[in-house]
Chain A
Amino acid sequence: MRRRLKIIYTILLLIIFQSLQGQTYWCCNCAENTKTEPRLPGVLVATPADTVTWFNKNWLPGDIFLNSGEIVRNINIKYSGLLDELFWLEPKSGKPVKIDKEAIQKFHFQSVRGDTSVNFRKIKIKRELSNDSIEVLGQEIYRGNLSLFVRHTFYVRQREIINTNSGIIQRDSYEEDPLYIICFMNKKTVALKGLTRKNLYAFAPDKKEQIKQFFNQSGHLKVETNDEIKVLMQFLGSVINQ
């Protein structure tokens, strides 16, 4: 019995030796281990204290696509609609860092309440009463011939002056006032306060009848859900010549 075991062990050792010999390593096995991580430029700032004006209240893992073509993956990020800025939880110091908007091309949340398709992209829009354009971060709702972005802007609904032990403080209550931005293939943008029938008539006055027909057929007065938005954008993309 012992002899038999010895033979079995010898053969097993042979198996291990031969298997190892069969492995021929060529260069490139180690290629992926040596990639230099891209660096995010940013500034340490005080973040808004309220919980309303954040797109995501808690830090969520996401990927940032930089203008340089590099991608910073799986870092904790938070987007502030009030400031229109993206924040990153710097892991070493544990402090929130406002990422320079100039460096960002787009960013993506890995999952927002189970939704894995939340993307924000930097777009150029015209300022009101000015010829200058500014770059803003808009949530990409639909991408096609006509793309749709939402700017999560806020306005001060109520302002309170409160007397505290440490002095007088001002407390603001915010309410979301989303702005819908329709982006043409040539990067031209049109901003709408809402995707209502009236706004769409103003957006495409020559297609008024077709829009009216679309709304009548769909049976909705307002377009609200993502699926409804998608259908509307597909329809607009098909009727509006660029």
Chain B
Amino acid sequence: MKRVLYTILILINCFCTIIAQNSSGLLKPEKIYLHTDRDVYIAGENMFYSLYLQGNAGQMSKYAYLIIRDQNNTFVINSRLEINNQVAYGTVPLSDTLNTGIYQIICYTSCMRNHSEELYFNKEIVIANRFDKKLNLFPDSLNVLKADTSVSQDSVNKSDNGNLVLRIDRKVFYQREKISFSIETGSIPGNLTTRLSVSVKEIIQGIPTLPSIYEYFNNTTKWENKVESKESLCRFTPEINGAVIEGNVLKLSGQANQSDSVKNIDAGLPPPYTLLVSTTDSIVNLQYTSTDSSGSFRIHLSPYYEGKDLFIRIKENVKATIQTENKFNLIQPFYPSGNFNVPGFRPNLLRSENIVQVQKFYNLQQSITTLKEFLPGGIVPRIYFRDYSTVFPSDFIEMNDFLEISKEIVPALKVRKVGDKYVSGYINFQDQANKTEEPSFFLDGVPIDDVNQILSLGTRQIKRIESLPFNRYYGDMTFQGILALFSKDLLINRIEFKTPTIKYQSLSSQSYTKQELYKPVDVNSHIPDMRQLLLWDPDIVLKKSEKKQIEFYASDLQGKYLINIQGITNTGEPVNCSATIVIQSRSK
């Protein structure tokens, strides 16, 4: 009896554990893999990338953040990438003025920020300044370089590895020869659409090869034992439906003023505050949210606000500061691994520098095609569509200030002096219960505090006045009438707000760009063709049982080249393959 009871209890134990694992197993961690065209660049060149995201179907992040930082942890690039069908691609121009050094590329989503930074995608690259001929960072003897054109005895008509099938006729090609190969999905199960990126680059001997997307995504040890509490996982909002601004309102102590530092923050929790988000426009626009019990706020930003300078304000008159979360905040410093301190690397780098000099001399720049631009757009979050009356002060005789304008030409509005301040109100206002409340004022589309901030504006400054003497609603926010002024010189930028206000530059996404396919005008041209990157195409879509033919041209540079293909299926399965080819001189 005892044995039976124990066995049942143990079985229940196992069952519960499995059930618990299954319920959480419905959600997988988000993983990012970044395929770059090369690992070594000369300052002034472009870095091409293709990003792949693996996550939960229908719940994947829309944006990823890309950072390139140097050994001093200074960010040289930070951009937002927009993910479409689990893929994003584009170009990062590496500034001409970058110092020679080892740089780190880091890529993550907002969702991934809830976990350890170790789970972010990271990779080291070398950027050399073409005027730095000493290259002290890479101590090495200046060996005389000889192009490695030896042909391995491998089979020549199939890929070296990976789960895609790459077919190529030969392994040895001549300078400037047209090269073609085909890709097929092969034995990958299911009716899939696969998105791929292809790079064909010169192999630099000694540099360790990075794991393929397949190896990276299937390296389960990296993501194992990363158990976190549910609370800490909701710190950063996943950007599934759109961009999110999040932050905190920190209440300052009674004696402090707005310029005081955060040291004076009250120990008590702040009450819920209303945060207003708007931008300068010829239309009154507004989004708002409230802080939670801990003073945190998050707002799903309307696409209309993307890439614009925003005003984020607290509606209530309170001594507090607004702190927004920096999407590009990294805690762990970067320490180079030393992977590039390999014999022969320095002369290789010098050779690349010289090649870029020659390319520059002949004005042979990499041409870039833009396939998709993410321009700010979307519908304006309007708080009203029709105004009661529009007044153009320039239609009347010149008036020096708003006091005069309100008295003479704005219907129903009354401004009067109470003590040392002016107050305003609409006469015969419908909601007599709230008639003590002033109307809401907007300047250049942005909410301001009260009429006192615009009193000095006269006919010369004001372009247009829109008046709505009604009790208006915008969600659960009420307005005891609205008066919107539009200035001639965007005077909103000169307004001093009474309530805590910050200016926030909202992010915009990088365009989808790729390198234009190189097509020689004349194969026998005397102009040297010294491309180390023979092909970069991040926009290949392969359907099930489709065979994709890819063509490109060899350059004058002899040596070994790597055809590297990485990609992802529409079900999130990583795919890859690679092959090595050799470019030889025709005289051999």
Contact = CB atoms under 8 A, between A and B. Distances in A.
Interface of A: 4, 8, 11-12, 14-15, 18-31, 33-45, 67-69, 90-93, 97, 100-103
B12 to A, nearest CB: 6
Interface stretch (B16-24, B446-454, B543-551): B16-24
Contacts, number: 155
Interface stretch (B88-96, B180-188, B465-473, B497-505): B465-473
Contact of A35 (B2, B241, B470): B241
A25 B233 contact: yes
B111 interface: yes
6 contacts: A26-B29, A29-B230, A29-B234, A31-B111, A90-B476, A100-B384
A92 B20 CA distance: 40
A161 B473 CA distance: 35
B111 A27 contact: yes
A68 B287 CA distance: 13
Interface string B309-320: 000000000000
B234 A33 contact: yes
B9 A31 contact: no
Contact of B385 (A26, A40, A45, A103): A103
Contacts of B420: none
Nearest to A46: B430
**6 nearest A-B pairs in the assembled complex, by CB-CB distance:** A39-B475, A22-B20, A30-B234, A102-B385, A44-B471, A36-B300
Given A18-B13, A30-B233, A33-B234, 20 more contacts: A8-B9, A11-B9, A11-B10, A11-B13, A15-B16, A18-B17, A24-B25, A26-B233, A28-B27, A28-B55, A36-B299, A39-B288, A39-B474, A41-B385, A42-B474, A43-B473, A68-B381, A90-B476, A92-B476, A100-B385
B240 interface: yes
B170 interface: no
Given A29-B27, A69-B379, A22 B386 contact: no
B306 interface: no
B308 interface: no
A18 B20 CA distance: 9
Contacts of A21: 17, 20, 227
B99 interface: no
A43 B382 CA distance: 13
Interface string B37-61: 0000000000000000001100100
A40 B230 contact: no
Contacts of A35: 241, 300
B138 to A, nearest CB: 39
B9 A27 contact: no
Contact of B473 (A14, A38, A90): A90
A91 B476 contact: yes
B222 interface: no
B470 A28 contact: no
B70 interface: no
A41 B477 CA distance: 9
Contacts of B234: 29-30, 33-34
A85 to B, nearest CB: 13
A34 B10 CA distance: 39
B163 interface: no
B465 to A, nearest CB: 19
B302 interface: yes
Contacts of B29: 26-27
B274 interface: no
Given A39-B474, A42-B473, A44-B430, A19 B16 contact: yes
B229 interface: yes
B298 interface: yes
A166 to B, nearest CB: 19
B24 A103 contact: no
B383 interface: yes
B9 A15 contact: yes
Contacts of B302: 68
A100 B430 CA distance: 18
A45 B381 CA distance: 22
A1 to B, nearest CB: 12
A68 B285 CA distance: 13
Given A26-B233, A41-B383, A103-B382, A18 B474 contact: no
Most buried by A among B29, B55, B227, B288: B227
A167 B21 CA distance: 75
B115 interface: yes
A93 B383 CA distance: 18
A18 B13 CA distance: 8
A25 B228 contact: yes
B113 to A, nearest CB: 8
Interface in B367-422: 378-379, 381-386
Nearest to A38: B475
Contact of B470 (A15, A18, A25, A43): A43
Contact of A28 (B238, B241, B288, B378): B238
B226 to A, nearest CB: 8
Contacts of A100: 382, 384-386
B289 interface: yes
Nearest to A100: B385
Nearest to A16: B16
Most buried by B among A8, A27, A36: A27
A92 to B, nearest CB: 5
Nearest to B468: A43
Interface in B240-262: 240-241, 244
A136 to B, nearest CB: 16
A41 B470 CA distance: 13
A92 B478 CA distance: 10
B74 to A, nearest CB: 28
B526 to A, nearest CB: 57
B351 interface: no
A44 B114 CA distance: 43
Nearest to B298: A34
A27 B13 CA distance: 27
A127 B46 CA distance: 58
A28 B472 contact: no
A45 B468 CA distance: 13
B379 A41 contact: no
A23 B23 contact: yes
A29 B237 CA distance: 10
B154 interface: no
Nearest to A98: B473
Contact of B379 (A11, A15, A30, A68): A68
A129 B298 CA distance: 51
Contact of B24 (A4, A18, A23, A33): A23
B21 A97 contact: no
Nearest to B472: A43
Contacts of B236: 27
Contacts of A103: 382, 385
A4 B9 CA distance: 13
Contact of A19 (B19, B55, B244, B299): B19
Contacts of A31: 59, 111, 237-238, 240
Contacts of A4: 2
B18 A22 contact: yes
A60 to B, nearest CB: 19
Contacts of B378: 68
A28 B234 CA distance: 8
Nearest to A66: B379
